[in-house]
Amino acid sequence: MRTLIGFEWRRLHRSGFAWGLPVLAIVLVGLFFWFSQVGVDQYRQELLNHIQSNDEILSQLIGGYRQTIADDLETADRKAEAKKDMALAVPIGDALDAQQQAVEDRSTPRYLRAVIAANTRTIAFDNALHRVLLQDHHTLTAQTKLYQTMLARGWALEDTHYTTQPVGFLVSWQSWLAQPLAVLLGVALLSTTWVTALFTNNADLMATTVQPWRRWALANWFWAVLSWLAFLTLSNAAGWLAGQWLGTPLLSGTTPWHAIVPGTGQSYWIVWVQEIGISLLWFIPMYGILLLVTTYAEKWGRQR
Amino acid sequence: MRKIMTFIRFEFLKRRRVWPVGIVALLITISLAVGFGVQKHNQSVFVQDYSTQLKKRYPNENSLGRSELTSFQKSEAAYHDWFFKSVAVNVVLNGQGTREIPGFGVRLYARTASGALSDAFARTYDQYRYMRQKNITPMFPDSLVIVPVAGDLDKLSDTDKQWVMRNNPHFYVQALPFLWSLLQSNGVVALLLAFGVLLSGGQLAKELAHKRAHSHWLTLQDEPFPAQVGIQFGMMLTTMIQVVFVPLLAVTLGIGLLFGFGDGRYPVFSYQNPDGFGSKEAIMPLSQYLTNTLSLLFLLTVFLTLVMIILSMLLRNGWLTILGTILVVGLSLITPPIPGLPLTYFHLNDIVTGIAQEQAGSDALQAPAVFINLGWWCVGLLLLIILITEWRRIVHRLQRIHLASQKSPASL
């Protein structure tokens, strides 16, 4: 068995995979980092657009109140009611302006405070007027709770898909590597030396050696799993370094490992470890199935 | 010319021995047809469920809103009419409905949150007016035209978003609309391209693989290397077209003959800026959408074929060439809209409808600019291929001169 493990390592080394894999890991992480940089910029713009769209709704509403107050034909009761409603609406507009300023100044704590203020005042406005002005109350309450926790613990605000902060970037990258399709591509890539050997004259050579086929497959499996592990380690290390050197926050601050990933209730650390586990759990059986299928395909071809 | 035709015939013969391309194209066509069958089935299930829901909601003859059930049971045309008038109540009549058309329905999520879906209502109204003017039959059952990227769902909670999307489905049960639904999905397009790459990616690489005499043998048969590359390009492109376009067109033709082709003027949501000052929502006829999307898909197929040729020349390994090209297709699925980057162009629907341009805020992602840019990328890749080919020729010549100079002193 040791001979075959050595033999498979030499094949892997001679095929260029030993250096090709690290190069691929770095290139792919580099590309993903670039995509994330673009994604972060677009998300920041999206935040501004969202604030502006809410601001427009508020401006129209406040404009309407002002018109009612200034209109001589309106009754005193209507004017008083408009004044009361405007007093509730104006602070929401102020909080939206503060949000916009915080995004432009890239300040997470100020942005979180402004969102919390806007949400609280919006709910108060809605309750007083029995309507829904900007957004559903469940969403506003959940967001307020999350942002209060983030503010109290000093966590940075980041998009869950695209971030260049080391912790968020690694979780995002690792989530992609845990997707069945990405693992399937990894299996196909790492099986190159096996597939090319099996469907060429090398298979005849192996058949004439005294080593049983199962051991050869096991040795190949061993190196494939180790290679995938090495790919995960290298790409995560490259991602970490890229995040440390070139990563910029969405607004300001950093995301620590123990911060909660929005929508999951679990820390970044736990999610990252889980994704690595999932990736390996997909890879190990998938590669085994590939070994079985290709072997039977080769045998079938030989019998024909 | 006769010689070239012989080589092409030879290549077709060779390809047939390796891959049954026709059978693969047939299997893909069958899979797409099954997808259409699923849509038809889902439509009938939805209609049945919705009818039950309406009957439960309006058990009494006099209950307000029963007109929806009446029109739904009467005919498709009656429901189209009810739907249009209900949307109009919300958009142009400021909610002032009548007893027959109160302006709400089970699925018409109007006025739950103030203005929550107002943009979707306005868009649906515009599209229905356009369809009425042009005598186009809407899809059945009628649904709101919701565009999440336009921020339609921003004001709703996650549960409400799911509810709205589940209750406003669109069933593409005619040929052209079904083709539209296929081209809207990045996953379907990526999968078709991946199949094409799988069948054609190894073609040239295998010829050039180390210790393979095939390429040299062809050169000895008087087929120069550039001609080999040119023929292989043609072969690979033909295979890609057979796998990507033939199933799409075959399934469209089949469905068209059995269930009708649908109207080419059907409205498709898009962003346009005819005056050049900022983009705004507009209507694009379905025929224009399909022409643009299929043209872009063809250009992307040429682009991928050129990528395969370059990878074949550099890697000289069929398997790795296939994987490298599939990686390019796979990467396109997670690429955000980046002006100038061809990976973004694989999001056909976003490019053609202007959504990508809107998201990135860049005019470089407008469909005409994308066509030109992708054309330039193809020209660039072609130049690279010519460069590699010439480089190989020069190296080969130098090697021969070197060998000759080594041999000549010994022969003396």
In this structure, the answer to whether residues A177 and A292 fall within a common structural domain is yes
Q: What is the Cα gyration radius of chain B?
A: 28
What CA–CA distance (Å, rounded) separates A36 from A172?
9
Distance, in Å, from the CA atom of B158 to the CA atom of A166, rounded to the nearest integer, reads 29
Of A158, A156, A164, A229, which Cα lies nearest the Cα of A190?
A: A229
The answer, yes or no, to whether residue B245 has pLDDT greater than 90, is: yes
Q: Give A35's contacts in chain B (Cβ within 8 Å).
A: 334-336, 338
Residue A264 and residue A174 share a domain: yes
Tell me: do A30 and A48 sit in the same domain: no
Asked whether residue A64 falls in the same domain as residue A22, the answer is no
End-to-end CA distance of chain A, in Å?
31
On whether any CB of chain A is under 8 Å from the CB of B94, the answer is no
pLDDT of residue B212: 60
Task: Give the pLDDT confidence of A203-254 residue by residue, as tens digits.
Answer: 777 767 656 778 888 999 999 999 999 999 999 999 999 999 999 999 999 9
Instruction: Please give the pLDDT value at position A239.
Output: 97
Q: How far apart are CA A112 and CA A144, in angstroms?
A: 9
A15 CA: distance to closest CA in chain B (Å): 11
* B155 touching chain A per CB within 8 A: yes
Same domain for A86 and A141: yes
Question: Any CB–CB contact under 8 A between A75 and chain B?
Answer: no
pLDDT of residue B111: 46
Whole-angstrom distance, CA of residue B344 vs CA of residue B340 = 8
Burial B84-121 (b: 16+ CB within 10 A, else e): bbbbbbbbeeeeebeeebbbbbbbbbbbebeebbbbbb
- On whether both A130 and A278 belong to a single domain, the answer is no
Q: Round to whole Å and give the CA distance between A269 and A166.
A: 12
pLDDT (average), residues B256-279: 88
Q: Report the SS3 class of residue B271.
A: strand
A117 lies in the same domain as A252: no
The arithmetic mean of pLDDT across residues B273-298, rounded, is 89
Does residue A129 belong to the interface with chain B, where contact is any CB pair within 8 Å?
Answer: no
Token representation of residue A300: 């079938």
pLDDT of residue B391: 87
Q: What is the pLDDT along chain A (304 residues), one digit of tens a residue?
A: 788 888 888 888 888 888 889 999 999 999 999 999 999 999 999 999 989 988 988 898 899 999 999 888 888 888 899 999 999 999 999 999 999 999 999 999 999 999 999 999 999 988 888 777 777 788 889 899 999 999 999 999 998 889 999 999 999 999 999 999 999 999 999 998 888 888 777 777 776 765 677 888 899 999 999 999 999 999 999 999 999 999 999 999 999 999 999 888 899 999 999 999 999 999 999 999 999 999 888 888 777 7
* Whole-angstrom distance, CA of residue A53 vs CA of residue A55: 5
Which pair of tokens denotes residue A168? Answer: 């968020």
Confirm if B251 and B29 have CB atoms less than 8 A apart. Answer: yes
User: Does residue A85 share a domain with residue A8?
Assistant: no
- Say what the pLDDT of residue A71 is: 86
pLDDT at B11: 81
Show the domain range for A117.
44-153
Total domain count, chain A: 2
Identify all chain B residues contacting A49, using CB atoms and an 8 Å cutoff: 151
Inter-chain touch B330–A181, beta carbons under 8 Å: yes
Rounded to an integer, the average pLDDT of B335-342 is 94
- Lowest-confidence region among A14-28, B20-34, B249-263: A14-28
pTM comes to 0.89
Which whole number is the average pLDDT over B191-210? 87
Longest dimension (CA), chain A: 104
Angle at B271 between CA B344 and CA A31, to 5 degrees: 15
**Domain final residue, candidates A97, A120, A153:** A153
- Residue A223 has phi, psi (to 5 degrees) of -70, -30
Yes or no, beta carbons of B116 and A35 under 8 Å apart? no
Please tell me whether residues A167 and A34 are part of one structural domain: yes
Contacts by B274-279, CB closer than 8 A, 24 or more apart: B279/B354, B279/B357, B279/B358
Please check whether residue A78 is in contact with residue A98, taking contact to mean a CB–CB distance below 8 angstroms.
Answer: no
pLDDT band, residue B1 (cuts 50/70/90): low
Structure tokens at A270: 């736990």
Greatest alpha-carbon pair distance for chain B in Å reads 114
Mean pLDDT of B334-360: 94
From CA B106, how far away is CA B108, in angstroms rounded?
6
Provide the pLDDT for residue A91.
94
Rounded distance, CA B395 to CA A272, Å?
A: 49
Based on the fold, state whether residues A138 and A173 are members of the same structural domain: no
The ipTM value here is 0.84
**C-alpha gyration radius of chain A:** 29
Q: Is the pLDDT of residue B412 over 90?
A: no
Is a pLDDT exceeding 90 seen at residue B7?
A: no
What pLDDT, on a 0 to 100 scale, did the predictor assign at position A192? 87
- Whether residues B157 and A138 touch (CB distance < 8 A) is answered with yes
Mean pLDDT, range B50-54, rounded to an integer: 91
What φ, ψ does residue B210 adopt, rounded to 5°?
-55, 140
pLDDT-derived band at B262 (thresholds 50, 70, 90) equals very high
Cβ neighbours around B138 below 10 Å, total? 22
Q: Which residues of A touch B335 (CB under 8 A)?
A: 35
Name residues 312-341 of chain B within 8 A of A (Cβ).
Answer: 317, 319-320, 323, 326-327, 330-331, 334-338
What are the start-end ranges of the E strands in B246-358? Answer: 267-272, 280-285
Q: Say yes or no for a CB contact (<8 Å) between B114 and A131.
A: yes
Residue where one domain finishes, among candidates A137, A153, A169: A153
Sorting pLDDT into bands at 50, 70 and 90, what band is B109? low
In this structure, the answer to whether residues A217 and A244 fall within a common structural domain is yes
Asked if A149 and A165 sit in the same domain, the reply is no
Kindly report, residue by residue over B136-190, the tens digit of the pLDDT: 999 999 999 999 888 888 878 788 888 888 889 999 999 999 999 999 999 999 9
